[in-house]
Amino acid sequence: MTVSHHPRRPLRIAVTLVLALALVACSGYPNTTIGAHSDVGREIDSLTYLLLILGGIVFVFVEGLLVYILIKFRERPGDTTPAQTHGNTTLEVTWTMLPAVILAIIAVPSVRTIFRTQAKAVPNALQVDVVGHQWWWEFRYPQYKVITANELYLPVGRTVNFSLRTDDVIHSFWIPQMSGKRDVVHKDRPNYMWFTPESSFVWNGACAEYCGASHSNMRFKVFTVPPAQFATWIKHQQQGPVFPAAAAAATAADTSKGAAATAAVAAAAPADTATGTWPRDKLPSWTIPETPVPANVTVAATSGDATRGAQLFKTGACIGCHTIQGVSPGIIGPNLTHVGSRTTIAGALYPNDIEHLRLWIKDARAMKPGSIMPPMGKGLPETMGTFTDQQIADLAAYISSLK
Amino acid sequence: MATTVAAPPSRAATLKYEKGIWSWLTTTDHKKIGQLYLYTALAWFLVGGIEALIIRTQLYGPNGRLVSADTYNQLFTMHGTTMIFMAIMPLSAAFFNFLIPLQIGARDVAFPRLNAFSYWIFLCGSLFINASWLIHKAPDGGWFSYAPLSTRTFNPGLNMDFWVIGIQILGVSTLAAGFNFITTIINMRAPGMHFMRMPVFTWAAFVTQFQIILAFPILTVAVVFLLFDRFFGTQFYEPAAGADPLLWQHLFWLFGHPEVYILILPAFGLVSEVLPTFSRKPLFGYPVMVYSLILIAFLGFGVWAHHMFAVGMGPIADSVFSVTTMLIAIPTGVKIFNWLGTMWGGSLRFTTAMLFAIGLVCLFTIGGISGVMHASPPADLQQTDSYFVVAHFHYVLFGGSMMGLFAGVYYYFPKVTGRIMNETLGKWHFWLMFIGMNLTFFPMHFAGLDGMPRRIWSYDANQGWTNDNHVSTIGAYILFVGMLIFVYNMWRSRRSGTRVGNNPWDAPTVEWSTPSPPPPYNYAKIPQITSRYPMWTREGPHSISAAYPVGAPAEAPEPTAEELHIPMPTPTLKPLLASLALTLAFIGLIWHKQVPIIILGLALFAVVLLSWVLTPLEPEH
B512 part of a folded domain: yes
User: A340-379: per-residue pLDDT in tens?
Assistant: 999 999 999 999 999 999 999 999 999 999 999 999 998 8
B518 part of a folded domain: yes
Count of other CB atoms within 10 angstroms of residue B439 = 18
Percent residues over pLDDT 70 in chain B = 96
pLDDT at site B621: 57
Chain B residues within an 8 Å CB radius of A29: 450-451, 464
Q: What's the CA gap between A382 and A370, in Å, rounded?
A: 12
Q: What pLDDT band is residue B555 in, cutting at 50, 70 and 90?
A: confident
B347 part of a folded domain: no
Shortest Cα–Cα distance, B203 to chain A (Å): 18
In the predicted model, what is the mean pLDDT of residues A329-337? Answer: 91
Percent residues over pLDDT 70 in chain A = 86
The count of domains in chain B is 1
Strand order in the sheet with A219-225: A151-155, A219-225, A201-207, A171-174, A182-184
pLDDT at site B615: 87
**CB proximity B282 to A under 8 Å:** yes
B358 part of a folded domain: no
User: B318-365: per-residue pLDDT in tens?
Assistant: 999 999 999 999 999 999 999 999 999 999 999 999 999 999 999 999
Please state, rounded to an integer, the average pLDDT across all residues of chain A: 86
pLDDT at site A18: 57
B413 part of a folded domain: no
pLDDT at site A329: 87
Alpha-helix residue ranges (DSSP H) falling in A151-297: 227-238, 244-252, 255-267, 272-275
Q: What pLDDT band is residue A272 in, cutting at 50, 70 and 90?
A: low
Shortest Cα–Cα distance, A284 to chain B (Å): 10
- Whether residue B382 and residue A288 make contact (CB cut-off 8 A), yes or no, is no
Q: What's the CA gap between A302 and A283, in Å, rounded?
A: 28
Choose among B73, B149, B463: nearest Cβ to A31. Answer: B463
Of the candidates B211, B202, B192, which has an alpha carbon nearest to the alpha carbon of residue B97?
B202
Which residue of B348, B392, B466 is the best one to mutate when testing the A interface, meaning the one whose CB has the most A CBs within 10 A? Answer: B348
- Whether residue B73 and residue A213 make contact (CB cut-off 8 A), yes or no, is yes
What residues contact B348, with CB distance under 8 A and at least 6 apart? A69, A70, A73, A74, A75, B278, B279, B354
Choose among B315, B336, B372: nearest Cβ to A55. Answer: B372
Q: What's the CA gap between A115 and A92, in Å, rounded?
A: 35
Q: Taking 90 as the threshold, does the pLDDT of residue B149 lie above it?
A: yes
Ramachandran angles phi, psi of A164, nearest 5°: -115, 125
Sign, CA torsion B533/B534/B539/B541: negative
| One-letter amino acid of A138 | E
Chain A residues within an 8 Å CB radius of B447: none
pLDDT at site A140: 96
User: B83-109: per-residue pLDDT in tens?
Assistant: 999 999 999 999 999 999 999 999 999
**CB proximity B456 to A under 8 Å:** yes
Choose among A81, A179, A214: nearest Cβ to B69. Answer: A214
Ramachandran angles phi, psi of B572, nearest 5°: -150, 145
User: A11-24: per-residue pLDDT in tens?
Assistant: 555 555 555 555 54
Q: What pLDDT band is residue B537 in, cutting at 50, 70 and 90?
A: confident
Q: What pLDDT band is residue B375 in, cutting at 50, 70 and 90?
A: very high
Q: pLDDT higher for B618 or A284?
A: A284
User: B500-516: per-residue pLDDT in tens?
Assistant: 999 999 999 999 999 99
Query: Is there a cis peptide before residue B616, judged by omega within 30 degrees of 0?
Result: no
B528 part of a folded domain: yes
pLDDT at site A14: 58
Choose among B287, B322, B327: nearest Cβ to A111. Answer: B322
pLDDT at site B210: 97
Q: What's the CA gap between A62 and B142, in Å, rounded?
A: 34
Q: Taking 50 as the threshold, does the pLDDT of residue A260 lie above it?
A: no
Ramachandran angles phi, psi of B10, nearest 5°: -60, 155
Cβ burial, residue A281 (10 Å; 0-12/13-18/19+): exposed
In the predicted model, what is the mean pLDDT of residues B556-572? Answer: 86
- Whether residue B373 and residue A91 make contact (CB cut-off 8 A), yes or no, is no
The CA-based dihedral angle spanning residues A229, A231, A232, A237, taken in that order and rounded to the nearest 10 degrees: 120
pLDDT at site A17: 55
* Cβ pair B282, A223 in contact under 8 A: no
Q: What pLDDT band is residue A245 in, cutting at 50, 70 and 90?
A: very low
Which residue of A179, A209, A344, A367 is the best one to mutate when testing the B interface, meaning the one whose CB has the most B CBs within 10 A? Answer: A209
Shortest Cα–Cα distance, B217 to chain A (Å): 25
Chain B residues within an 8 Å CB radius of A33: 382-383, 386, 448-451
pLDDT at site B150: 94
Give contacts of B 494-553 with A, CB under 8 A.
538-541, 544-545
In the predicted model, what is the mean pLDDT of residues B246-272? Answer: 96
- Whether residue B385 and residue A179 make contact (CB cut-off 8 A), yes or no, is no
Chain B residues within an 8 Å CB radius of A62: 336, 340, 365
Q: What pLDDT band is residue A27 in, cutting at 50, 70 and 90?
A: low
Cβ-Cβ contacts under 8 Å between A and B: the total is 300
Q: What's the CA gap between B237 and B231, in Å, rounded?
A: 13
Strands (E), A302-375: 323-324, 328-329, 344-345, 350-351
Q: What pLDDT band is residue B7 in, cutting at 50, 70 and 90?
A: very low
DSSP class of residue B239 equals G
B453 part of a folded domain: no
Q: pLDDT higher for B550 or B485?
A: B485
In the predicted model, what is the mean pLDDT of residues A53-82? Answer: 94
* Cβ pair A90, B287 in contact under 8 A: no
Chain B residues within an 8 Å CB radius of A82: 279-281, 345-347, 540
- Whether residue A95 and residue B279 make contact (CB cut-off 8 A), yes or no, is no
- Whether residue B449 and residue A33 make contact (CB cut-off 8 A), yes or no, is yes
Q: Taking 70 as the threshold, does the pLDDT of residue A252 lie above it?
A: no
- Whether residue A82 and residue B286 make contact (CB cut-off 8 A), yes or no, is no
Q: pLDDT higher for A191 or A9?
A: A191
- Whether residue B323 and residue A33 make contact (CB cut-off 8 A), yes or no, is no
Q: Taking 80 as the threshold, does the pLDDT of residue B540 lie above it?
A: no
Q: Which domain holds residue B534?
A: 507-549
Chain B residues within an 8 Å CB radius of A100: 330
Please state, rounded to an integer, the average pLDDT across all residues of chain B: 93
In the predicted model, what is the mean pLDDT of residues B265-281? Answer: 96
| One-letter amino acid of B39 | Y
Query: Is there a cis peptide before residue B559, judged by omega within 30 degrees of 0?
Result: no
What's the complex ipTM?
Answer: 0.92
* Cβ pair B540, B281 in contact under 8 A: yes
Which residue of B337, B467, B542 is the best one to mutate when testing the A interface, meaning the one whose CB has the most A CBs within 10 A? Answer: B337
Find the closest chain B residue to A209 by CA distance. Answer: B385
Shortest Cα–Cα distance, A111 to chain B (Å): 6
Give contacts of B 222-241 with A, CB under 8 A.
239
B366 part of a folded domain: no
- Whether residue A181 and residue B385 make contact (CB cut-off 8 A), yes or no, is yes
Shortest Cα–Cα distance, B68 to chain A (Å): 9
Chain A residues within an 8 Å CB radius of B545: 78-79
Choose among A28, A47, A87: nearest Cβ to B284. Answer: A87
In the predicted model, what is the mean pLDDT of residues B204-224? Answer: 96
Map residue B18 onto helix, strand or coil: helix
Chain A residues within an 8 Å CB radius of B347: 73, 75-76, 79, 81-82
User: B451-462: per-residue pLDDT in tens?
Assistant: 999 999 999 999
Chain A residues within an 8 Å CB radius of B348: 69-70, 73-75
**CB proximity B67 to A under 8 Å:** no
Q: Taking 90 as the threshold, does the pLDDT of residue A79 lie above it?
A: no
Find the closest chain A residue to B544 by CA distance. Answer: A81
Shortest Cα–Cα distance, B378 to chain A (Å): 6
Choose among A31, A55, A182: nearest Cβ to B451. Answer: A31
Q: What's the CA gap between B504 and B319, in Å, rounded?
A: 51
Element (H, E) at A206: strand A201-207
Chain B residues within an 8 Å CB radius of A370: 69-70
In the predicted model, what is the mean pLDDT of residues B423-442? Answer: 97
* Cβ pair A52, A46 in contact under 8 A: no
Q: What's the CA gap between A352 and B526, in Å, rounded?
A: 78
Shortest Cα–Cα distance, B538 to chain A (Å): 8
In the predicted model, what is the mean pLDDT of residues B286-309? Answer: 95
